[in-house]
Structure 1
Amino acid sequence: MLRTKIFSLVAVATATALALTGCGGGGEAGGSSTGGESGTLRVALNQTEEHPSYIALDNFGKRLEAATEGRWKMDVYPNETLGAQQEALQLVSQGAVDLAIVSGTQLENLNKDFRVFNLPKVFDDVEHQMKVIHDPKVTGELYTSLEESNNLTVLGGFTQGARSIYTNDAPVKTPADLAGKKLRVQESDVMIALAEALGASATPMAFGELYTALQSGVVDAAENNEVSYFTQKHFEVAPHFSQTNHLVGLDYLIVNSDLLGKMSEADRAVFQKEWTATHEEHTKLWTTATEEDIASAKAAGATFSEVDEAAFDKVLEPIAGKFIENDAQQALYDAARAAAK
C-alpha cells in the first residue's frame, strides 16, 4: 500500500518520529491553531503506578501537554484497566485505544521477525538492547511491518531488564532443578521453547493471572525481572528468586496507524523529542528501581540466588538456531549482535 511505503520511508529517516501523530477513538479530537489535530491520548499499560513504565509515560504526558500548550494530552491507564496486553493490542489496532505498551512476545505472534529480539542472549545487557531497538537502520522496516495487516506502528520500546526465574518451593541452581515444574511463560513460541529447553512444563498465561496461579499451585515457577517481581508482590507467593538472567526482555510502545499524519509538523517534532526523553528516562528509572526492588524483596523475606550460568547457556544456546528461519531474521540477529562489539 502507498501509505505503508510512505510511512516506511519516514520511519527509516526519522525512526520513532513516526510516533503518534493523531488522536484515536479513545480521545477527544479537535482542531489546532498550528494546523493539525489535537486531543487526549489513551495509553494502555499492564503495570502499577509505581512501575518505571507508568512513571515515564506519565511524565511523557505532562511534558507533551506543556510543550504543545495543551493541544495534546495523555492519560495512562495502568493495572490492565483497559485489558490484558493481548486485548490492549487489539483495541489499539481497532482504534478504540491510542497507544499501548505490549511485550515483544505479543508482536512475534503477528510477525515472526519480532521474535529475533525475544531470543535468549541476543542482547548482552540493557544498554546494548536500547542501542539496537532505537536504531532506525536496524528497525525501520520491522517497526512498520504491521501497518497494512494490523493497523499498528511500533514507535520504539522500554526495557524489561534481565529476566530470571522465581519459584514457590526452592531455589533453582541448574536447569535440572526445573525438571517437571510448571513454569509460567508469556504466550509465544519462543518462550514455550525456552521453558522446554530448561526441562520445565511450559504454562502460558496472562500476566495478571500469575499471582493467583503461583499462590494456588497452578504453576510452580515464573520468569520475569526483579521490578515486576516486587511491584506485583510475587515474592509473597514465590520467595525464591534465581538470577538466571536468561534474556533481556523488551516492551514496545505501539500506536494505531490511522492516527499517523494528523499532528502538525511542529507538534510531531515535539512528540518525537519527548518520546526520546521518555525512553531514556525509563532506562534510568529502571536501573534505580531494580536495585531498590531487590533490596525491598529481600527485606520482605525473598531470597536471591546465583546459578550455574554455563549450564543454562548450554541448553539455551540452540534456541536461536531453531527460530531464525529466513534472511530477514538472520539480518536482524546479526545487526543486533554486531552492535554489542
Structure 2
Amino acid sequence: MMTRKSILTLLLCTITFFGCGVDNETKTIRLGHGLDVSHSVHKAMVKMGEDLLERSGGRLKLEIYPSQQLGTERECLELLQIGSLDMTKVSVGVLENFAPKTRVLGLPFLFRDRQHSFNVLDGPIGQMLLNEGEKYWLKGLGYYDAGSRSFYTMNKPIEKPADLEGEKIRVMESVTAVNMVKALGGSPTPISWGELYTSLQQGVVDGAENNPPSFYLSRHYEVCKYYSLDEHTVLPDVLLIGTYVWNKLSQQEQMWLSQAVKESVKYQRILWAEAEAEALREVQKAGVVVSRPNKTLFAEKVQGIYESYKDDAEIYPLIKKIQETQ
C-alpha cells in the first residue's frame, strides 16, 4: 500500500516529469536516487552524464536528483513504472519486490568472493536478471558495486549468531533480508534508509547492516560503535530505466546510454574500492570497534534458507548456476 508521502511524490512528479523532457532538441533524462552526493555511485552517475552528453553531441542530457529528493527507492521504482521518472538506482534487495527472480542475489553467502560476484553479474546470469524487470516496466541497465553488507550495532559487537538474539536489526523492505536476520536469531525491522539515523538514536532498532561506505557516509558510526564484518551478503545496486522512457529512445540513443552506463560501472568500481578502504579507516578513527567474526558460524545458520528453495523450479536451479560459475 502506498503511503501519503508516496502519493504526494507521485502527484508532484507526474506534473514535473513526462518521460524524457525535450528542450531545444535535447532530451533530458531525469535520474532520482537516495544516496549522498559524496557516494561513489553518485560520482559515477555524474561521470555518466558527462559521458552521455559528449557521446550524443548534446542530444541527451542527464539530470540527477540525489538524497531521496524524489522519494525512497521503492517510490522511485513506482514512478518509473508509471513513466513519471526516467531512471533510478536501487539496491537489488528492494528490486526483488518488483522483479521476484532478483531475490536470488540477496541470499546470504551466495558468492565465494568479490570476483565471483563480478563474474556472475557481468555474465549471462546477471544480464538475464537485468532483463527480468521488463515485464514489470523496469529495464535494468547495469550493476554498481555495493560491496558486502555486515552488522553494526550500538550496545555490543556481533561476534556469533547468538549475539543477534533479542536485537532489533533494521533491514530493507526485502523478504530475503528479513528471513536472513530471523535465521540468525535477530528481530528484523524494515525501515527506510532516510529514517534510520533517527531510529537508531531513539532506540527503535539496536543496529542495522550495510557496507562500509554507507555506514560511514550516513554517519551511523556516531551512534553505532561496533561493526562486525561477517559480510553476509554481496548485494549490488541496480541502475534502471523505465521501459516507457527506454522505448521512446531511438536505437542510437539507447546505444549512447548503454555505453555511458558501461563506462560509469567501471569507474564506480574503482571509486568503490577506494571508498571502502577510506570508510573503514575513518570509522575506526571515530572510535568504532571493527571486528572480523568467523563467517562459517553465520553461514551454517542460514542453510535453512537454501533448503526452503529446493522446490522452487525457478530459483533453485539459478542458485546452482551461480554457485557453479567460475
Same fold (TM over 0.5): yes
- Structure-2 separation of matches of 1:263 and 1:110: 23
Show the counterpart of 1:21: none
Partner deviation per Cα, 1:169-220 (whole Å, 9 max, x = no partner): 1111111111101011111111111111111111111111111111111000
Show the counterpart of 1:295: 281
Select the structure with the greater relative contact order (CA < 8 A; seq sep ≥ 6). Answer: 1
Q: Does the 8 A contact of 1:52 with 1:289 survive in 2? A: yes
- Note the residue ranges of structure 1 that are not aligned, 5 or more in a row: 1-23, 33-37
**Aligned partner of 1:145 among 129, 132, 152:** 132
Secondary structure of 1:120 counterpart: coil
Q: Is the aligned partner of 1:29 residue 2:17? A: no
Show the counterpart of 2:179: 193
Query: Please, which moves more after superposition, 241-250 or 259-268?
Result: 259-268
Show the counterpart of 1:257: 243
Show the counterpart of 2:79: 91
The aligned runs of 1:191-230 (5 Å cut-off) are: 191-230=177-216
Show the counterpart of 2:257: 271
Q: Is the aligned partner of 1:107 residue 2:95? A: yes
Q: Does the 8 A contact of 1:124 with 1:248 survive in 2? A: no
Question: Residues 39, 325 of structure 1: CA spacing in aligned structure 2 closer, same or farther, 3 A cutoff?
Answer: farther
Show the counterpart of 1:78: 66
Q: Which amino acid aligns with 2:131?
A: T
Shift in Å, 1:130: 2.4
Partner deviation per Cα, 1:267-321 (whole Å, 9 max, x = no partner): 3322222211111111111111000111111111211012122211110222222
- Structure-1 separation of matches of 2:309 and 2:73: 23
Secondary structure of 1:252 counterpart: strand
Q: Does the 8 A contact of 2:31 with 2:64 survive in 1? A: yes
Secondary structure of 1:145 counterpart: helix
Q: Does the 8 A contact of 1:120 with 1:320 survive in 2? A: no
Partner deviation per Cα, 1:35-54 (whole Å, 9 max, x = no partner): xxx41111111110110110
Show the counterpart of 1:116: 104
Q: Does the 8 A contact of 1:155 with 1:254 survive in 2? A: yes
Q: Does the 8 A contact of 2:93 with 2:235 survive in 1? A: no
| Aligned-residue RMSD, C-alpha | 1.8
Shift in Å, 1:222: 0.4
- Structure-2 separation of matches of 1:117 and 1:329: 10
Q: Which amino acid aligns with 1:292?
A: E
Show the counterpart of 1:285: 271
Q: Is the aligned partner of 1:175 residue 2:195? A: no
Q: Which amino acid aligns with 1:138?
A: I
Secondary structure of 2:61 counterpart: strand
TM-score (ref. length: structure 1): 0.86
- Note the residue ranges of structure 2 that are not aligned, 5 or more in a row: 1-16
- Structure-1 separation of matches of 2:114 and 2:266: 11
Shift in Å, 1:141: 4.3
Q: Does the 8 A contact of 1:46 with 1:78 survive in 2? A: yes
Question: Residues 121, 198 of structure 1: CA spacing in aligned structure 2 closer, same or farther, 3 A cutoff?
Answer: same
Question: Residues 311, 141 of structure 1: CA spacing in aligned structure 2 closer, same or farther, 3 A cutoff?
Answer: closer
- Structure-2 separation of matches of 1:260 and 1:112: 21
Question: Residues 58, 198 of structure 1: CA spacing in aligned structure 2 closer, same or farther, 3 A cutoff?
Answer: same
Shift in Å, 1:153: 1.2
**Aligned partner of 1:133 among 109, 121, 127:** 121
TM-score (ref. length: structure 2): 0.90
How many residue pairs get aligned? The number is 310
Show the counterpart of 2:302: 316
